[in-house]
Amino acid sequence: MNRISGIFPSGIVIAFLFVATHSVAASLEYVVSMPNPASHYFEVKVLLKDYKKDYVDFKMPVWTPGSYLIREYARNVEGFAAAKGNGIPVKHEKINKNAWRVWHGKSSVLEISYSVYAFDGSVRMSYLDENHAFIMANTLLMYTDALRFEPLTLRLNIPGRWKNISTSLNAGHEKNTFIAPDYDALVDSPVEIGNHEVIRFTAAGVEHEVAMYGEAFYDAEKIRGDLTKLIETATKIFDENPNEKYVFIVHNQSTGGGGLEHMSSTVLNVRRNIYQSNYNSFLTLAAHEYFHLWLVKRIKPAALEKLDYDRENYTDLLWFMEGVTSYYEEKIMLRSGYFDQQTFLDRLVKAMANIKNTPGAKVQSVAQASFDAWIKFYRQNENSHNDQVSYYSKGMILGALLDLAIIHNSEGRNSLDDVLRYLYENYHKKGKGITTENLRKACEHFGGMDFGQFFNDYIYGTRPLPNNEYLRLAGVGLLQLKNDLKPMSLGVSLTQQNGAAVISSVKKGSPAFEAGLSADDELIALDGFRINKNNFNSILDNYAPGSRVFLTISRDGLLLHKEVVVRRDDSVVYAFELMEEKSPMQQKVSEVWLGL
Ligand SMILES: [Zn+2]
């Protein structure tokens, strides 16, 4: 109204106000029922009131924010129907793969109904069975462009035997109702329903809740204490925790894994034995997803400021959003005392070796990897190792290199922490997303140096990373294991299929690549010796580098022979050493970087 009053003469403003106070704003309510949970079907009703247009389009998003692949959630919708308030059906038609157009003739109440099949146990999609329900609104609830940024209500009709609902959404006045300021907030607030254990605690002044679904032997008291430590360490980086309440939804499962970040919650899918077998990996995952509440959910790429739910949303910054979050997950584990310095450095140099050993790192930059996540990173195939680089792993190393450069060049006064805090204050709080240019300038501001060449070479380009040079700034030496200790190799990965050894991938430039071996080739014999996946490496190790071997293979049901030259495995293995005599500057950088 304030904007309009500046344009019109005052008399018109009064007339406008008069009309406005007498018109009723359109409202949207979602009712989700689960009458037969074992069927995996949710029943959805959408009530649209007082929408004054002839028709309205209801759309199901095609992807989940944070997971960059088109997944077509409309494929799980059945029985779409539309009726006026008095139950009289109204005309509707499907206008494209994810949208239904409904002509309701300005009727005061429109009711849309449909069923959604929900049987995908990942963090990205809704799920329903006899034991629990998990709601990801973008895979269950349709939106309209017209009301996307209007407040809405979610009403849940849940089986009487289920007692708990965990979500970061605010509760409404009535039982099992929740309110969201808009559809985007609803999408960003998953809901867990069932008889899960609820672990509550306060950390960094914020109320936290862990919804523990699924049998597992965990120690609630320990989880409370450990998450508190991680949360307080992460909050210190930004000096503030923007949430009033935060929810961890944990699905304990027999297989699978992964996490998905949200504004005020996260979903963690973990194996049920993780608390015994690899508790630190549970904490690392929790630290990673929690850190995202600042980096990617609030400091976000300008390209993801306003999401388009109907198609791909392109950004070249996923290396920063995901990779640097991976770097901070490590830093938070180090600063909280769950990783010692050895573990932290060991994991970092392993990532460095991994990138060094990826042929795709010479082909694709991290900026390209980010942009093409939709068609490459989320669609891995047998050649992915050769034509792409992980923006997680390389982004994590880039985080460490930028951190080291800033600490060194500012003589220990600043670090990457300052860059993040600056972006949070100056972009997120002003309602702006960031570009690579904004990020580079912030790094230059706190590092007091030009990062133009660095960004050109290592972010937009594929030049080998200067790992050694930068680690030395902190008095850490990067050591490469001697090649003559490595086993013989042809450069293939094998899988066992019905007892046969089958090539799953061929490394670009390897002996197998040069000899014309291919994925899906079945290796039958090597110089007449029968091969399987288990004896292949030990047979190969009997040969000297440069020997020629004859492989009998089966390709598409036909036998053929290939001659291959055996070489030593040329992949790099790194270790690190802490220099005994550090210069005062190396000492300083090391103290700031590793918190010694
Ligand atoms: Zn992440």
Give the tens place of pLDDT for each residue, 227-263: 999 999 999 999 999 999 999 999 999 997 899 999 9
Q: Is the pLDDT higher at 19 or at 545?
A: 545
The answer, yes or no, to whether residue 9 has pLDDT greater than 70, is: no
CA of 258 to the centre of ligand 1 (A): 9
Measured CA to CA, the distance from residue 316 to residue 538 in angstroms comes to: 44
The answer, yes or no, to whether residue 12 has pLDDT greater than 60, is: no
Tell me the pLDDT band of 391, cut-offs 50, 70 and 90: very high
Q: Is the pLDDT higher at 275 or at 106?
A: 275
CA of 260 to the centre of ligand 1 (A): 7
Per-residue pLDDT, 596: 61
Per-residue pLDDT, 481: 86
**What are 21-45's pLDDT values in tens digits?**
445 678 899 999 999 999 999 999 9
Measured CA to CA, the distance from residue 193 to residue 474 in angstroms comes to: 49
Same domain, 447 and 366: yes
Per-residue pLDDT, 14: 40
Strand partners, 249: 211, 267
The answer, yes or no, to whether residue 517 has pLDDT greater than 60, is: yes
| Domain harbouring 289, CATH code | 1.10.390.10
Same domain, 86 and 110: yes
Same domain, 202 and 182: no
CA of 127 to the centre of ligand 1 (A): 21
Same domain, 189 and 203: no
- pTM across the whole model: 0.94
CA of 202 to the centre of ligand 1 (A): 24
Q: What integer best gives the mean pLDDT of the chain?
A: 94
Per-residue pLDDT, 177: 98
> Over pLDDT 90: what percentage of the chain?
91
- Name the amino acid, one letter, at 533: K
Measured CA to CA, the distance from residue 274 to residue 280 in angstroms comes to: 9
CA of 295 to the centre of ligand 1 (A): 9
Q: At what angle are helices 391-409 and 584-594 packed, to 10 degrees? A: 130
Measured CA to CA, the distance from residue 61 to residue 258 in angstroms comes to: 21
CA of 325 to the centre of ligand 1 (A): 6
CA of 66 to the centre of ligand 1 (A): 8
CA of 191 to the centre of ligand 1 (A): 20
Same domain, 509 and 558: yes
> Residue 576 falls within a domain, yes or no?
no
Tell me the pLDDT band of 499, cut-offs 50, 70 and 90: confident
CA of 92 to the centre of ligand 1 (A): 40
Per-residue pLDDT, 592: 97
Looking at the structure of the chain, the number of domains it has is 4
CA of 360 to the centre of ligand 1 (A): 21
Please tell me what DSSP assigns to residue 329.
H
> Residue 63 falls within a domain, yes or no?
yes
Per-residue pLDDT, 559: 97
CA of 345 to the centre of ligand 1 (A): 20
Q: Domain range for residue 275?
A: 197-293
CA of 259 to the centre of ligand 1 (A): 7
Same domain, 283 and 403: no
Measured CA to CA, the distance from residue 434 to residue 32 in angstroms comes to: 37
Same domain, 88 and 184: yes
Same domain, 353 and 449: yes
> Residue 596 falls within a domain, yes or no?
no
CA of 463 to the centre of ligand 1 (A): 25
> Residue 310 falls within a domain, yes or no?
no
Tell me the pLDDT band of 482, cut-offs 50, 70 and 90: confident
Per-residue pLDDT, averaged over 144-169, amounts to 97
Per-residue pLDDT, 23: 52
> Over pLDDT 70: what percentage of the chain?
96
Same domain, 72 and 169: yes
| Domain harbouring 144, CATH code | 2.60.40.3650
CA angle in degrees (0–180, nearest 5) for 394-335-269: 60
Same domain, 131 and 269: no
Per-residue pLDDT, 228: 98
Residue 489, φ and ψ in degrees, nearest 5 = -155, 150
Measured CA to CA, the distance from residue 55 to residue 156 in angstroms comes to: 27
CA of 288 to the centre of ligand 1 (A): 6
CA of 322 to the centre of ligand 1 (A): 5
Per-residue pLDDT, averaged over 530-544, amounts to 94
Per-residue pLDDT, 24: 64
> Residue 574 falls within a domain, yes or no?
no
Per-residue pLDDT, 85: 79
> Residue 592 falls within a domain, yes or no?
no
Pairing label, strands 152-157, 27-33: parallel
**What are 252-293's pLDDT values in tens digits?**
999 978 999 999 999 999 999 999 999 999 999 999 999 999
Same domain, 277 and 377: no
Helix (H) or strand (E) holding 486: none
